Protein backbone atom coordinates (compact mmCIF):
# COMPACT_ATOMS: atom_id res chain seq x y z
CA UNK A 1 0.00 0.00 0.00
CA UNK A 2 1.38 3.42 -0.84
CA UNK A 3 2.17 6.01 1.82
CA UNK A 4 -0.37 8.48 0.41
CA UNK A 5 -3.31 6.05 0.61
CA UNK A 6 -6.16 7.21 2.79
CA UNK A 7 -9.06 5.15 4.07
CA UNK A 8 -12.12 7.38 4.30
CA UNK A 9 -14.00 5.50 7.01
CA UNK A 10 -16.74 8.14 7.26
CA UNK A 11 -17.54 7.79 3.57
CA UNK A 12 -17.33 4.00 3.72
CA UNK A 13 -19.68 3.87 6.73
CA UNK A 14 -22.17 6.20 5.04
CA UNK A 15 -22.15 3.97 1.96
CA UNK A 16 -22.65 0.81 4.04
CA UNK A 17 -25.64 2.39 5.81
CA UNK A 18 -27.11 3.53 2.48
CA UNK A 19 -26.80 -0.09 1.29
CA UNK A 20 -28.68 -1.17 4.40
CA UNK A 21 -31.49 1.26 3.52
CA UNK A 22 -31.43 0.01 -0.09
CA UNK A 23 -31.70 -3.61 1.09
CA UNK A 24 -34.69 -2.80 3.35
CA UNK A 25 -36.50 -1.00 0.52
CA UNK A 26 -35.67 -3.84 -1.90
CA UNK A 27 -37.25 -6.33 0.48
CA UNK A 28 -40.37 -4.17 0.76
CA UNK A 29 -40.53 -3.85 -3.03
CA UNK A 30 -40.19 -7.63 -3.41
CA UNK A 31 -43.02 -8.45 -1.00
CA UNK A 32 -45.17 -5.53 -2.12
CA UNK A 33 -45.73 -3.94 1.29
CA UNK A 34 -43.93 -3.20 4.53
CA UNK A 35 -44.15 -6.28 6.78
CA UNK A 36 -46.06 -6.08 10.07
CA UNK A 37 -46.02 -2.66 11.66
CA UNK A 38 -42.90 -1.49 9.82
CA UNK A 39 -43.11 1.87 8.08
CA UNK A 40 -40.45 4.29 6.93
CA UNK A 41 -39.77 8.00 7.12
CA UNK A 42 -37.33 9.03 4.39
CA UNK A 43 -36.04 12.59 4.22
CA UNK A 44 -34.24 13.75 1.09
CA UNK A 45 -32.92 16.91 -0.54
CA UNK A 46 -35.35 17.91 -3.28
CA UNK A 47 -32.69 19.88 -5.17
CA UNK A 48 -30.08 17.12 -5.18
CA UNK A 49 -28.88 15.81 -8.56
CA UNK A 50 -31.03 12.99 -9.89
CA UNK A 51 -34.11 13.75 -7.77
CA UNK A 52 -37.21 13.65 -9.94
CA UNK A 53 -40.43 14.96 -8.40
CA UNK A 54 -43.38 16.82 -9.94
CA UNK A 55 -42.99 20.60 -10.22
CA UNK A 56 -45.82 21.31 -7.77
CA UNK A 57 -43.99 19.32 -5.09
CA UNK A 58 -40.68 21.03 -5.83
CA UNK A 59 -42.45 24.39 -5.37
CA UNK A 60 -44.02 23.26 -2.07
CA UNK A 61 -40.81 21.63 -0.80
CA UNK A 62 -37.88 23.58 -2.26
CA UNK A 63 -35.18 22.16 0.04
CA UNK A 64 -36.10 18.90 1.72
CA UNK A 65 -39.02 16.59 1.93
CA UNK A 66 -39.93 13.70 4.18
CA UNK A 67 -42.04 10.92 2.74
CA UNK A 68 -43.72 8.15 4.68
CA UNK A 69 -43.97 4.67 3.22
CA UNK A 70 -46.69 2.96 5.18
CA UNK A 71 -50.11 2.14 3.75
CA UNK A 72 -50.63 4.27 0.65
CA UNK A 73 -47.75 3.78 -1.72
CA UNK A 74 -47.43 1.91 -4.98
CA UNK A 75 -44.90 0.76 -7.52
CA UNK A 76 -41.87 0.86 -5.26
CA UNK A 77 -38.81 0.00 -7.31
CA UNK A 78 -35.22 -0.09 -6.13
CA UNK A 79 -31.89 -0.36 -7.91
CA UNK A 80 -28.29 0.18 -6.80
CA UNK A 81 -28.42 3.98 -7.13
CA UNK A 82 -32.00 5.05 -6.40
CA UNK A 83 -35.54 4.13 -5.51
CA UNK A 84 -38.81 5.25 -7.05
CA UNK A 85 -42.29 5.22 -5.58
CA UNK A 86 -45.78 6.50 -6.34
CA UNK A 87 -47.46 8.50 -3.56
CA UNK A 88 -50.47 10.79 -3.30
CA UNK A 89 -50.28 14.42 -2.19
CA UNK A 90 -53.60 16.17 -1.52
CA UNK A 91 -55.29 13.55 -3.71
CA UNK A 92 -52.83 13.97 -6.60
CA UNK A 93 -50.72 11.01 -7.70
CA UNK A 94 -46.99 11.68 -7.92
CA UNK A 95 -44.07 9.52 -9.02
CA UNK A 96 -40.87 10.28 -7.11
CA UNK A 97 -37.40 9.08 -8.10
CA UNK A 98 -34.83 9.57 -5.35
CA UNK A 99 -31.13 8.70 -5.53
CA UNK A 100 -29.83 7.21 -2.28
CA UNK A 101 -27.18 9.96 -2.30
CA UNK A 102 -29.98 12.55 -1.80
CA UNK A 103 -31.35 10.86 1.33
CA UNK A 104 -30.52 12.64 4.60
CA UNK A 105 -32.40 10.38 7.02
CA UNK A 106 -34.16 7.04 7.14
CA UNK A 107 -36.23 5.81 10.09
CA UNK A 108 -38.47 2.89 10.97
CA UNK A 109 -40.32 4.08 14.08
CA UNK A 110 -41.98 0.69 14.59
CA UNK A 111 -38.66 -0.69 15.84
CA UNK A 112 -37.11 2.62 16.93
CA UNK A 113 -34.44 2.51 14.22
CA UNK A 114 -33.05 5.52 12.42
CA UNK A 115 -30.11 6.71 10.37
CA UNK A 116 -28.84 10.15 9.36
CA UNK A 117 -26.67 10.72 6.35
CA UNK A 118 -24.36 13.48 5.28
CA UNK A 119 -25.74 14.74 1.97
CA UNK A 120 -23.54 13.79 -0.99
CA UNK A 121 -24.74 16.72 -3.07
CA UNK A 122 -26.58 19.92 -2.31
CA UNK A 123 -28.45 22.19 -4.70
CA UNK A 124 -26.21 25.01 -5.99
CA UNK A 125 -28.93 27.62 -5.32
CA UNK A 126 -30.55 26.80 -1.99
CA UNK A 127 -33.28 29.15 -0.76
CA UNK A 128 -32.12 31.76 1.77
CA UNK A 129 -34.50 30.68 4.54
CA UNK A 130 -34.03 27.03 5.51
CA UNK A 131 -36.95 27.12 7.92
CA UNK A 132 -39.69 27.61 5.36
CA UNK A 133 -42.01 24.79 4.33
CA UNK A 134 -45.42 23.23 4.76
CA UNK A 135 -46.89 19.87 5.57
CA UNK A 136 -49.14 17.59 3.61
CA UNK A 137 -52.39 16.47 5.26
CA UNK A 138 -51.94 13.81 7.92
CA UNK A 139 -53.96 11.21 6.03
CA UNK A 140 -51.50 11.35 3.14
CA UNK A 141 -48.41 9.13 3.28
CA UNK A 142 -46.16 12.11 2.68
CA UNK A 143 -44.99 14.97 4.85
CA UNK A 144 -42.34 17.63 4.59
CA UNK A 145 -39.71 18.78 7.04
CA UNK A 146 -37.36 21.77 6.96
CA UNK A 147 -36.14 21.75 10.57
CA UNK A 148 -32.44 21.15 9.91
CA UNK A 149 -31.37 24.12 12.03
CA UNK A 150 -33.47 23.16 15.05
CA UNK A 151 -31.79 19.77 15.43
CA UNK A 152 -35.16 18.24 16.32
CA UNK A 153 -36.85 15.65 14.13
CA UNK A 154 -39.98 13.76 14.97
CA UNK A 155 -39.41 10.05 14.48
CA UNK A 156 -42.03 8.64 16.85
CA UNK A 157 -39.36 7.89 19.46
CA UNK A 158 -36.88 6.30 17.05
CA UNK A 159 -33.24 6.42 18.01
CA UNK A 160 -31.36 8.07 15.16
CA UNK A 161 -27.76 7.05 14.66
CA UNK A 162 -25.53 9.95 13.68
CA UNK A 163 -21.95 9.30 12.69
CA UNK A 164 -20.97 12.74 14.04
CA UNK A 165 -20.86 11.23 17.54
CA UNK A 166 -17.99 8.98 16.47
CA UNK A 167 -15.95 11.58 14.59
CA UNK A 168 -12.72 12.90 16.02
CA UNK A 169 -13.09 16.56 16.95
The answer to the question of residue 86 being in a domain is: yes
| Class of residue 103 by CB neighbours under 10 A (exposed 0-12, middle 13-18, buried 19+) | buried
The answer to the question of residue 1 being in a domain is: no
* Of 113 and 4, more confident: 113
The answer to the question of residue 107 being in a domain is: yes
pLDDT at 161 over 90: no
pLDDT of residue 10: 87
pLDDT of residue 1: 55
pLDDT at 15 over 50: yes
CB 57 within 8 A of CB 49: no
pLDDT of residue 8: 86
pLDDT of residue 2: 64
Among 43, 22, 50, CA closest to 107? 43
Q: Residue 32 sits in which domain range?
A: 9-166
pLDDT at 151 over 70: no
CB 73 within 8 A of CB 83: no
Which tens digits make up the pLDDT trace of 28-80?
999 888 888 999 999 999 999 999 999 989 998 989 999 999 888 889 999 99
The answer to the question of residue 4 being in a domain is: no
Domains in the chain: how many in total? 1
| High-pLDDT (> 70) share of the chain, % | 68
pLDDT of residue 6: 84
Mean per-residue pLDDT for 120-125? Answer: 46
CATH code at position 68: 2.30.30.220
Amino acid sequence: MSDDAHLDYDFMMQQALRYLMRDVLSLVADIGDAPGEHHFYIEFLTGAPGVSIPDHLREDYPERMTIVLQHQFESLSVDDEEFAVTLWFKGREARLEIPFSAVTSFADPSVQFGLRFEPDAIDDNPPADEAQGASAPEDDDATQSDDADSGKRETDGADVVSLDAFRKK
